[in-house]
Protein backbone atom coordinates (compact mmCIF):
# COMPACT_ATOMS: atom_id res chain seq x y z
CA UNK A 1 0.00 0.00 0.00
CA UNK A 2 1.41 3.38 -1.01
CA UNK A 3 1.28 5.97 1.75
CA UNK A 4 0.27 9.61 1.49
CA UNK A 5 3.48 11.66 1.54
CA UNK A 6 4.32 14.39 4.00
CA UNK A 7 5.10 17.89 2.68
CA UNK A 8 8.82 17.06 2.76
CA UNK A 9 8.24 13.75 1.01
CA UNK A 10 6.19 15.51 -1.64
CA UNK A 11 9.02 17.90 -2.47
CA UNK A 12 11.48 15.04 -2.62
CA UNK A 13 9.30 12.68 -4.65
CA UNK A 14 8.00 14.88 -7.45
CA UNK A 15 9.58 15.67 -10.78
CA UNK A 16 12.03 18.15 -9.25
CA UNK A 17 15.76 18.40 -9.78
CA UNK A 18 16.25 17.40 -6.14
CA UNK A 19 13.94 14.37 -6.27
CA UNK A 20 15.25 11.31 -4.44
CA UNK A 21 13.40 9.05 -6.87
CA UNK A 22 14.94 10.81 -9.86
CA UNK A 23 18.39 9.88 -8.63
CA UNK A 24 17.68 6.33 -7.52
CA UNK A 25 14.62 4.93 -9.34
CA UNK A 26 15.42 5.54 -12.96
CA UNK A 27 13.28 2.58 -14.06
CA UNK A 28 10.12 4.35 -12.92
CA UNK A 29 11.11 7.54 -14.74
CA UNK A 30 11.96 5.58 -17.86
CA UNK A 31 8.48 4.04 -17.84
CA UNK A 32 6.84 7.42 -17.30
CA UNK A 33 8.85 8.86 -20.21
CA UNK A 34 7.98 6.02 -22.58
CA UNK A 35 4.29 6.20 -21.61
CA UNK A 36 4.18 9.94 -22.29
CA UNK A 37 2.75 11.14 -25.63
CA UNK A 38 1.67 7.68 -26.78
CA UNK A 39 0.41 8.98 -30.19
CA UNK A 40 3.81 10.58 -30.91
CA UNK A 41 2.40 14.05 -31.57
CA UNK A 42 5.31 15.82 -29.89
CA UNK A 43 7.81 13.77 -31.88
CA UNK A 44 6.01 14.54 -35.15
CA UNK A 45 6.21 18.26 -34.43
CA UNK A 46 9.90 18.20 -33.52
CA UNK A 47 11.24 15.94 -36.27
CA UNK A 48 11.57 18.64 -38.98
CA UNK A 49 13.37 20.91 -36.49
CA UNK A 50 15.88 18.23 -35.49
CA UNK A 51 16.82 16.89 -38.93
CA UNK A 52 20.55 17.29 -39.71
CA UNK A 53 21.12 19.40 -36.59
CA UNK A 54 23.77 19.36 -33.89
CA UNK A 55 21.52 18.83 -30.90
CA UNK A 56 21.73 19.07 -27.12
CA UNK A 57 19.17 17.33 -24.89
CA UNK A 58 19.28 19.20 -21.57
CA UNK A 59 18.07 17.05 -18.69
CA UNK A 60 17.93 14.05 -21.01
CA UNK A 61 16.96 11.54 -18.31
CA UNK A 62 16.88 7.99 -19.63
CA UNK A 63 17.36 9.17 -23.21
CA UNK A 64 13.87 8.91 -24.70
CA UNK A 65 14.30 11.83 -27.09
CA UNK A 66 17.91 11.02 -27.87
CA UNK A 67 16.91 7.52 -28.93
CA UNK A 68 14.16 8.90 -31.17
CA UNK A 69 16.17 11.71 -32.73
CA UNK A 70 19.61 10.12 -33.12
CA UNK A 71 18.71 8.75 -36.59
CA UNK A 72 17.81 12.30 -37.71
CA UNK A 73 20.43 14.52 -36.08
CA UNK A 74 24.06 14.90 -37.09
CA UNK A 75 25.06 14.32 -33.48
CA UNK A 76 23.43 14.63 -30.07
CA UNK A 77 24.82 15.41 -26.64
CA UNK A 78 22.71 14.52 -23.63
CA UNK A 79 23.38 16.03 -20.21
CA UNK A 80 21.77 15.09 -16.92
CA UNK A 81 22.61 15.58 -13.27
CA UNK A 82 21.64 11.99 -12.37
CA UNK A 83 24.19 9.26 -13.10
CA UNK A 84 21.61 6.42 -12.80
CA UNK A 85 19.43 8.19 -15.38
CA UNK A 86 22.40 8.49 -17.74
CA UNK A 87 23.28 4.83 -17.22
CA UNK A 88 19.82 3.96 -18.55
CA UNK A 89 20.24 6.46 -21.39
CA UNK A 90 23.54 4.79 -22.29
CA UNK A 91 21.77 1.44 -22.64
CA UNK A 92 18.84 2.94 -24.55
CA UNK A 93 21.10 4.69 -27.09
CA UNK A 94 23.88 2.10 -27.36
CA UNK A 95 23.19 1.43 -31.05
CA UNK A 96 24.01 5.00 -32.10
CA UNK A 97 27.54 6.29 -32.67
CA UNK A 98 26.53 9.96 -32.84
CA UNK A 99 25.49 10.22 -29.17
CA UNK A 100 27.54 11.62 -26.26
CA UNK A 101 26.26 11.54 -22.67
CA UNK A 102 27.64 13.78 -19.93
CA UNK A 103 26.86 13.62 -16.20
CA UNK A 104 26.80 17.33 -15.39
CA UNK A 105 24.49 20.11 -14.26
CA UNK A 106 23.01 22.13 -17.12
CA UNK A 107 24.44 25.37 -15.73
CA UNK A 108 27.98 24.18 -16.51
CA UNK A 109 28.09 22.28 -19.81
CA UNK A 110 31.47 21.23 -21.27
CA UNK A 111 30.54 22.25 -24.82
CA UNK A 112 32.12 24.96 -26.96
CA UNK A 113 30.40 28.32 -27.34
CA UNK A 114 28.25 28.73 -30.47
CA UNK A 115 28.33 25.03 -31.35
CA UNK A 116 24.72 23.75 -30.99
CA UNK A 117 21.87 24.16 -33.49
CA UNK A 118 18.99 22.94 -31.35
CA UNK A 119 18.50 22.42 -27.62
CA UNK A 120 15.52 20.50 -26.33
CA UNK A 121 14.42 20.09 -22.74
CA UNK A 122 11.45 17.96 -21.75
CA UNK A 123 10.10 18.44 -18.21
CA UNK A 124 13.48 19.91 -17.46
CA UNK A 125 13.76 23.58 -16.57
CA UNK A 126 10.53 23.60 -14.57
CA UNK A 127 11.96 20.99 -12.21
CA UNK A 128 14.52 23.57 -11.09
CA UNK A 129 12.70 25.35 -8.29
CA UNK A 130 15.24 28.14 -7.68
CA UNK A 131 14.76 30.99 -10.14
CA UNK A 132 18.40 32.06 -9.94
CA UNK A 133 19.55 28.62 -11.05
CA UNK A 134 17.03 28.59 -13.89
CA UNK A 135 18.51 31.87 -15.11
CA UNK A 136 22.04 30.47 -14.92
CA UNK A 137 20.96 27.41 -16.90
CA UNK A 138 19.38 29.54 -19.61
CA UNK A 139 22.51 31.67 -19.82
CA UNK A 140 24.58 28.53 -20.30
CA UNK A 141 22.22 27.12 -22.92
CA UNK A 142 22.31 30.43 -24.75
CA UNK A 143 26.11 30.38 -24.66
CA UNK A 144 26.41 27.04 -26.46
CA UNK A 145 23.81 27.92 -29.11
CA UNK A 146 24.91 28.98 -32.55
CA UNK A 147 23.65 32.43 -33.64
CA UNK A 148 20.82 30.76 -35.57
CA UNK A 149 20.06 28.22 -32.84
CA UNK A 150 16.96 27.72 -30.71
CA UNK A 151 15.91 26.30 -27.35
CA UNK A 152 12.76 24.15 -27.36
CA UNK A 153 11.06 23.36 -24.05
CA UNK A 154 8.38 20.67 -23.79
CA UNK A 155 6.26 21.49 -20.75
CA UNK A 156 2.97 20.69 -19.06
CA UNK A 157 0.13 23.00 -20.03
CA UNK A 158 -2.60 24.01 -17.60
CA UNK A 159 -5.84 22.04 -17.53
CA UNK A 160 -6.50 18.43 -18.45
CA UNK A 161 -6.49 15.16 -16.54
CA UNK A 162 -2.78 15.07 -15.70
CA UNK A 163 -2.99 18.47 -14.02
CA UNK A 164 -6.27 17.54 -12.33
CA UNK A 165 -5.02 14.36 -10.65
CA UNK A 166 -2.00 16.26 -9.31
CA UNK A 167 -4.28 18.87 -7.73
CA UNK A 168 -3.21 21.79 -9.88
CA UNK A 169 -6.55 22.76 -11.44
CA UNK A 170 -8.11 24.35 -8.34
CA UNK A 171 -4.83 25.36 -6.73
CA UNK A 172 -4.60 29.16 -6.50
CA UNK A 173 -0.81 28.88 -6.47
CA UNK A 174 -0.73 26.72 -9.59
CA UNK A 175 2.94 25.92 -10.21
CA UNK A 176 2.35 24.96 -13.83
CA UNK A 177 0.67 28.26 -14.70
CA UNK A 178 3.19 30.32 -12.74
CA UNK A 179 6.15 28.61 -14.40
CA UNK A 180 4.73 28.92 -17.92
CA UNK A 181 4.03 32.62 -17.35
CA UNK A 182 7.60 33.03 -16.08
CA UNK A 183 8.95 31.53 -19.31
CA UNK A 184 7.03 34.09 -21.36
CA UNK A 185 7.34 37.22 -19.24
CA UNK A 186 10.77 36.73 -17.66
CA UNK A 187 12.69 34.37 -19.93
CA UNK A 188 11.60 35.60 -23.40
CA UNK A 189 10.09 32.32 -24.62
CA UNK A 190 7.12 32.21 -26.96
CA UNK A 191 4.43 29.55 -27.32
CA UNK A 192 4.93 27.58 -30.54
CA UNK A 193 2.34 24.84 -30.18
CA UNK A 194 -0.21 23.32 -27.79
CA UNK A 195 -0.75 19.57 -27.99
CA UNK A 196 -3.52 17.40 -26.55
CA UNK A 197 -1.96 13.97 -26.02
CA UNK A 198 -1.96 11.21 -23.38
CA UNK A 199 0.08 8.79 -21.31
CA UNK A 200 -0.54 5.12 -22.12
CA UNK A 201 0.49 2.34 -19.72
CA UNK A 202 0.19 -1.43 -20.12
CA UNK A 203 -2.60 -1.67 -17.54
CA UNK A 204 -4.48 0.43 -14.97
CA UNK A 205 -2.34 -1.25 -12.32
CA UNK A 206 0.90 -0.12 -13.96
CA UNK A 207 -0.48 3.39 -14.33
CA UNK A 208 -1.36 3.43 -10.63
CA UNK A 209 2.04 2.11 -9.57
CA UNK A 210 4.11 4.50 -11.69
CA UNK A 211 2.10 7.57 -10.73
CA UNK A 212 1.92 6.46 -7.11
CA UNK A 213 5.65 5.86 -6.82
CA UNK A 214 6.39 9.40 -7.98
CA UNK A 215 3.50 11.44 -6.60
CA UNK A 216 1.96 9.22 -3.91
CA UNK A 217 -1.24 7.24 -3.46
CA UNK A 218 -3.34 10.39 -3.08
CA UNK A 219 -2.55 11.16 -6.74
CA UNK A 220 -2.51 7.56 -8.00
CA UNK A 221 -5.98 6.97 -6.55
CA UNK A 222 -7.36 9.54 -9.02
CA UNK A 223 -6.19 7.59 -12.08
CA UNK A 224 -9.10 5.91 -13.86
CA UNK A 225 -7.59 3.58 -16.45
CA UNK A 226 -4.35 2.80 -18.30
CA UNK A 227 -4.35 6.26 -19.90
CA UNK A 228 -4.03 9.83 -18.61
CA UNK A 229 -4.98 12.76 -20.83
CA UNK A 230 -2.15 15.31 -20.98
CA UNK A 231 -2.02 18.90 -22.20
CA UNK A 232 1.44 19.86 -23.46
CA UNK A 233 2.81 23.23 -24.46
CA UNK A 234 5.95 23.72 -26.56
CA UNK A 235 7.97 26.88 -26.00
CA UNK A 236 10.76 28.24 -28.17
CA UNK A 237 13.44 30.88 -27.69
CA UNK A 238 16.05 31.79 -30.27
CA UNK A 239 19.63 32.75 -29.49
CA UNK A 240 19.76 36.03 -27.59
198-217: average pLDDT: 97
Confidence of residue 19 (pLDDT cuts 50, 70, 90): low
Assess if residue 60 is contained within a domain: yes
Assess if residue 2 is contained within a domain: no
Instruction: At 96, give phi and psi (nearest 5°).
Output: -105, 135
Assess if residue 117 is contained within a domain: yes
Assess if residue 102 is contained within a domain: yes
Assess if residue 126 is contained within a domain: yes
**Segment (H or E) for 165:** helix 161-165
pLDDT tens track for 37-82? 999 999 999 999 999 999 999 999 999 999 999 999 999 999 999 9
* DSSP helix/strand/coil, 200: strand
Assess if residue 169 is contained within a domain: yes
4-11: average pLDDT: 40
pLDDT tens track for 135-169? 999 999 999 999 999 999 999 999 999 999 999 88
164-184: average pLDDT: 87
**Domains of the chain: total:** 1
CATH number of the CATH domain containing 85 = 3.40.50.150
Tell me how far apart the alpha carbons of residues 240 and 231 are, in angstroms, rounded to a whole number: 28
pLDDT tens track for 91-140? 999 999 999 999 999 999 999 999 999 999 999 999 998 999 999 999 99
Tell me the residue range of the domain where 180 lies. 7-238
pLDDT at 11: 40
Length of the chain in terms of residues written: 240
Assess if residue 1 is contained within a domain: no
Q: How much is the pTM?
A: 0.90
**Largest alpha-carbon pair distance within the chain?**
52
Rg, the chain, Cα only: 17
18-22: average pLDDT: 57
Is 89 in contact with 101 (CB distance < 8 Å)?
Answer: yes
Is 62 in contact with 33 (CB distance < 8 Å)?
Answer: yes
Percent of the chain with pLDDT over 70: 89
Instruction: Return all residues near 13 (Cβ < 8 A) that are at least 6 apart.
Output: 5, 19, 20, 21, 214, 215, 216
Amino acid sequence: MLSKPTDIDYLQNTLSADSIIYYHNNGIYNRLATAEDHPGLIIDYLKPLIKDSVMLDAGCGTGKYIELFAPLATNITGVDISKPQLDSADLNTALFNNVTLVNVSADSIPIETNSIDMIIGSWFLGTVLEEEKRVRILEELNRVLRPTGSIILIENDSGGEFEEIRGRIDNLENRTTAYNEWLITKASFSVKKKINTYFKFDSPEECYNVIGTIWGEHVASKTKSDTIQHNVIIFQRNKI
